[in-house]
Each structure stands twice: as structure tokens, then as C-alpha cells.
Structure 1
Amino acid sequence: MFAVPQPPSNENERLDFIFSCGILDTPRDERFDRITRLASHFYEADAAFLGFIDDRYQWMKSIHGEGIAPWIERDRSICQIVISSGEPLVVSDMKTDSRLRGHPVVPLLPFHFYAGVPLLTENGAAVASLCILKREPQPLDRFNLSPLKDLGEIAMDELELWRHNRDLKRAAERDGLTDLANRRAFDAALDEAWQNFQRTQQPLSLLMLDLDHFKALNDHAGHQAGDEALRQFARILSDAAHRPIDLAARYGGEEFALILPNMDHAGALEIAWRIKTSLEEAGIPHPVGIAGRLTVSVGLATLPPGSTDRIEMLVARADSALYRAKRQGRDRIIVEK
């Protein structure tokens, strides 16, 4: 009788690896489509798929054939058995196999034969499964699992390459001191947010932030203290960018930016005050700063639904608001209407 298997002992490590790849719920990719296509043709299977299993779902990165959904709940997946054990699973006939009796999905499938192999990390964590399905049962003594294992290893190599390239891209888009997005990544993210604004007509807000009297901090306390102040403020800004669609960036020197898609000026103003308050609570010393601590000036601008302004105007308006905040005495937030 079927029972949902327990997660493997290395579940946390397994999930960390999957999430670090950034591959869940991403579009199809020929690197993986080629593998399912080869598996299907070699075994003359009716369907082949490659699925990644997180803590709740199995996401199909590649499907060749018909009858496979793009995702399924983990506890309703057959492949969870492969993930739990870290071993291949071959079933001659899913409709009659005692291991799958009572499985909630098997009676609904047009398939009988199943074979799946895990994609294993160097430490043996099963992060995905490569599987084939046939509409007719097949005797186990006529099935050669080795080619499917080989294809699974190739798929794992492709996944490692995917992860490595993602790490390289991330490194190229991060500021070395603060680990925030750099100017290059900011420009790309702002363009993406602009495209989203045009498509959805949801408000788009931008914060431009500048640390007050920062040159004086370097001059009086030294560059090491200045670098540490930048890192501390970066952590505050990063915490404020709590949605996946937000982007915190080091714009240049002591100037920072925060892109807030789908957020009106009221919501952005709340975020700005949260950043300012957090910096006050951090109490970062500044020998000649306002009240002896590091402060920040903030300029805020928003594109409301229906706006015909170009994205360059949003940046210019936020920058203008920041300039006014500095001119009016610093340590304040100015909203550009």
C-alpha cells in the first residue's frame, strides 16, 4: 500500500542546492529538452520528463510527449520515491504494483510502465529525476537501466553548468564591497521594471539614497570605517528589499538605489521611512555627522498608472528629490510629486 515517503536525511542540503540553481519554474531549455528527447527515442517511450522536486512541488523542466502536467504536488508525485531513496525506480506496471496501490495519481494516468533515475549532487543529494513512461507494461528483464542512468548523469552535468553560469552572472552583477546589485545590474533591472510597468500599468517607484557627509566620515575616521559603514547600510537596504521583485543597488560611491515595482508612492514612502529608522537604530558613528551618527537623504519618485513619462524621467525625478533633500539640510525624505 502506498504511503508518502519521508524526506531524505539530507533534505536541507538537497533544497539548498536546488534553490541555489534558480531553476525552478523557469522556461524550457534545449539543454534539457535534448536529454528527454533522447531518452524517449532510445527507449521508444510514450513520454519522458525531467522534474525538480522542492519541499512542496515537482516542477517539470523538460517534457517530451503528452500526458505530463508541468507541475504536481510533491506528495502526489511518483518521483518522490526516487528523491526519498536516492535510488532508481523501475515499475513494470504501475496499475498492479503493490508499492503504488492506493497512490492518488496512478489510476488517472494513461501509463503503465515507469522508470526513473535520480540526479545526484557530489554529496549524494537527489535533486531531480529523469523518467520515462510507457502506455503498456514492460517486463523488467527486458529493460536496460544503464542508458537512463547515463542520461541522468549528463543532465546533472548540465545542471552544474547552469548553476556555475548563474554564479558567474551574479558575481558580475554584484558590488564587491556591499554585495548589492551593481550599476550594470541596476540598469538592467530598471529596464525590466519599465517593461513590466508598460505591460501591467502597475505603479513603479524608485528611491535614490545618499549617505550624508560621507567624505567627511572617510577623512576623519578612515576608509576602513567608511567601508564598514557602507556594508552596514547595504544590509539595511537589502532587508528593505523584501520582495523578490525589489532590487537594492549601489548606484555609485555612497549613493544607493531601490527599485520597487508594483508599488505606489505611499508604499514606497513607508519603505523609505523604514530604511531611515533602521539606520538611526543602527547608530553608526560619524565624527562630524548629524548628532554624531551616520544619516541618509532620500529622494522618491513614482510612475503612476497611465503615466507617459519615460524611465529616464523617473530616475531624473528621484534624483531631483534627493538633491532637494540634501539642499534642505540632509537626513530627510523628499517625495517628487
Structure 2
Amino acid sequence: MDASPDERFDRVTRLAARIYDADVAFIGLVDGQFQSLISLNTDALGRNVPRRDSVCNMIVESGQPMVVGDLKTDPRLAGHPLVPHLTLRFYAGAPLVAEPDLVLGTLCVMKREPGDQETFDLGPLLDLAAIAANEIAQWKLNLELKQISETDSLTGLPNRRIFDDAFERAIRRARRTAQTVSFLMIDIDHFKALNDLAGHQTGDKVLSQMGRLLSAMPRRPLDTLARIGGEEFALILPDTDGAGARIVAEGILEKLRQAAIIHPAGGLVSASIGGASQTGAAACASDLYFAADMALYEAKRGGRGRYSDKAG
């Protein structure tokens, strides 16, 4: 839902608009809260709407196509919160079916004037919806293959390229949903001394251990953990405020203490973590990264092995 615009989906909406002589055609995907239009041939509709307020949600929940001759008078839409605000009257939509029991969203066409729902030919719309669903499945497969090719071989974590893409998506999500996104930078303390005293093979072993430790921490599907360079790791936390980010960071520090990895200079291997959070339209990737970096510097200056945070 937060991916960049894609011409493959725009072709489908253009075809749907031409076939049905529609004023509006769009592909909308849903998650638990929102419908997001990933392809839209006009500015007549907003790109994002709460899922419960979307006419398309009726199709998603039923898994069946729907044709409405007149949105203003159809009894199925009586009391619908969005309909009174629409200037469009005719609506037809088909589900994007990924699996028998999984509907990802809809392909819809709309017109300014009412139409005859009884004579409407759903065939082309269903075919185009199937094409769109296949394109989404192919896009997902390509993304998974790309992630495999962009995995850090030492730690098994995504590398910097995957992180950069995920970071931009998280920022777009925060802007779209008006939620808070948090970002953690995690840096192994005194790593140069570890390499100098015990050799790079030992350094690699510690990096691998750190990767396994971070990977074992509980994460949600949208969270992204990556090794972004040297002894530095990053964790992107969409829909997470500063208090939630602190809980995650403190959990990482506690797990590292429990792991009791011996440092050749004496004591145990520790890490410093810097965090930052931003909300909604104010979210900016470069500002959020800079704020977390400054917080990491403060954690180092404050004695290492601790968490510090800043406003993004």
C-alpha cells in the first residue's frame, strides 16, 4: 500500500476507464484500517480513506463484485458516511482475490451520472481485476527475490539497500495514516578495540551473534531490522510512538546483557541505541535519521550501553 506508483497498475485503470467510459477508475488496497488507492485516473477522489468509510469495503468483506446504479438512492448504502459527500453516482467494483479467502482490495469504475445496474457487463471488470491481482502477486514475488539478493551474508539481516526502501515506505505510511513512526540506530560499543585485540574473525562472530540476537526479538510484520554498515544496525518501527520505541530499545539492551558476550578488552559486549520518532505529515526520512544519529551520539557520550532518544 505504501509502494511507489507503478505503471502496471495504471494500465489496468486506464483500460477500465476506456472500456466502461467511466469518469473514475481506481485500484484500492486495504489493510486493517485503511483503503489506499494505488492507482487512480483522476483527482476527484482522495487517495486514502478509513476502510470502514469505504464503499469498496462491502466488496472486500463479501468477496463478491457489486454494481450500484445510483449511490444516492440504493438502499444498500442508506446511512453510509461517505456517499453524501460524493459527486459520483454510478459505481461498479470487482474484488482483487489473492487466495480463495483473501481479498486484497478492489478494482472500481464510477460515473457522474446514474446507470443501469441490471444491464451492466461485469465480465471485463472481473478480467481486469484478475490481471491486477496477478500483477500484485508478481510484484510481491519480485520483492521477495530482491530481498533475498540484498541480504547481508554475515548476519542474515537485510542490508542497507533494503533498509533505504523500507525507510521511505515507513515515512510514506506515517504521512498517509497520520501515525507515528520510530527509528532505532544500534551500534556495538568499542567494536574497533574488539577487532584490534581479537582479530576480524572474532569481530565477525560478534556481528553474527548480534544479528541472531536482534532477529530473535519479537517484531511485527511492518517492522524492518537491517544491518546498515560496519557494526551498526537499524530498526524501523511504523505505528510506534516514542514510549513504544523505548520499550523495544530497552528490551534489546537487556537481551544483550543476558547474552553475556565476552569483550577481549574486558567485560561484556554492549551496544548503544539512539532513537527518534515523527508523526504524520511532519515525517521526513533525512530528519528522522539525523535525529536518531544524534541520539546515538548522546548515548555513546553518556557512557555507552544505554538508550537515548530525540524528537525527529
TM-score, normalisation: structure 1: 0.61
Identity of aligned residues (%): 34
Question: Is structure 2 residue 209 aligned with structure 1 residue 209?
Answer: no
Gaps of at least 5 residues in structure 1 are 1-23, 193-203, 261-269, 301-310, 325-329
Asked if the contact 2:194/2:263 (under 8 Å) is kept, the reply is: no
Alignment of 1:174-185 (within 5 A): 174-176=151-153, 178-182=155-159, 185=162
Asked if the contact 1:217/1:226 (under 8 Å) is kept, the reply is: no
Structure 1 residue 274 displacement after superposition: 4.3
Q: 1:174 to 1:239 in 2, by over 3 A?
A: farther
Q: Secondary structure at the match of 1:32?
A: helix
Partner of 1:68: 45
Alignment of 1:272-287 (within 5 A): 274=250, 277-284=253-260, 286=262
Query: Deviation string for 1:88-121 (max 9, x for gaps)?
Result: 0111222221111121222222222211000001
Structure 1 residue 171 displacement after superposition: 2.0
Question: Is structure 2 residue 133 aligned with structure 1 residue 156?
Answer: yes
Partner of 2:119: 142
Q: Provide the C-alpha distance between the structure 2 equivalents of 1:80 and 1:206, rounded to a whole number of angstroms.
A: 38
Question: Is structure 2 residue 109 aligned with structure 1 residue 132?
Answer: yes
Alignment of 1:45-60 (within 5 A): 45-60=22-37
Alignment of 1:1-337 (within 5 A): 24-176=1-153, 178-182=155-159, 185=162, 208-209=187-188, 213=194, 229-235=209-215, 248-249=226-227, 251-252=229-230, 255-258=231-234, 274=250, 277-284=253-260, 286=262, 290=266, 294-296=268-270
Asked if the contact 1:76/1:104 (under 8 Å) is kept, the reply is: yes
Q: 1:290 to 1:35 in 2, by over 3 A?
A: same
Asked if the contact 1:47/1:63 (under 8 Å) is kept, the reply is: yes
Structure index of larger Rg: 1
Partner of 2:173: none
Q: Secondary structure at the match of 1:65?
A: coil
Greater mean alpha carbon deviation, residues 122-131 or residues 24-33: 24-33
Q: Provide the C-alpha distance between the structure 1 equivalents of 2:273 and 2:21, rounded to a whole number of angstroms.
A: 62
Amino acid at match of 2:257: E
Partner of 1:5: none
* Aligned-pair Cα RMSD in Å: 4.8
Structure 1 residue 218 displacement after superposition: 11
Q: Provide the C-alpha distance between the structure 2 equivalents of 1:286 and 1:105, rounded to a whole number of angstroms.
A: 61
Asked if the contact 1:216/1:288 (under 8 Å) is kept, the reply is: yes
TM-score, normalisation: structure 2: 0.65
Query: Deviation string for 1:250-292 (max 9, x for gaps)?
Result: 635xx334489xxxxxxxxx89x9488425532345597845x
Gaps of at least 5 residues in structure 2 are 169-182, 237-245, 275-288
Q: Provide the C-alpha distance between the structure 2 equivalents of 1:111 and 1:28, rounded to a whole number of angstroms.
A: 24
Q: Secondary structure at the match of 1:169?
A: helix
Amino acid at match of 1:209: I
Q: Provide the C-alpha distance between the structure 2 equivalents of 1:278 and 1:248, rounded to a whole number of angstroms.
A: 19
Query: Deviation string for 1:170-224 (max 9, x for gaps)?
Result: 22222245332335557x67x98xxxxxxxxxxx99654266758969999xx9x
Asked if the contact 2:65/2:93 (under 8 Å) is kept, the reply is: yes
Q: Secondary structure at the match of 1:142?
A: coil
Q: Provide the C-alpha distance between the structure 1 equivalents of 2:150 and 2:50, rounded to a whole number of angstroms.
A: 34
Amino acid at match of 2:73: T
How many pairs are equivalent?
265
Q: Secondary structure at the match of 1:174?
A: coil
Greater mean alpha carbon deviation, residues 206-215 or residues 42-51: 206-215
Asked if the contact 2:70/2:114 (under 8 Å) is kept, the reply is: yes
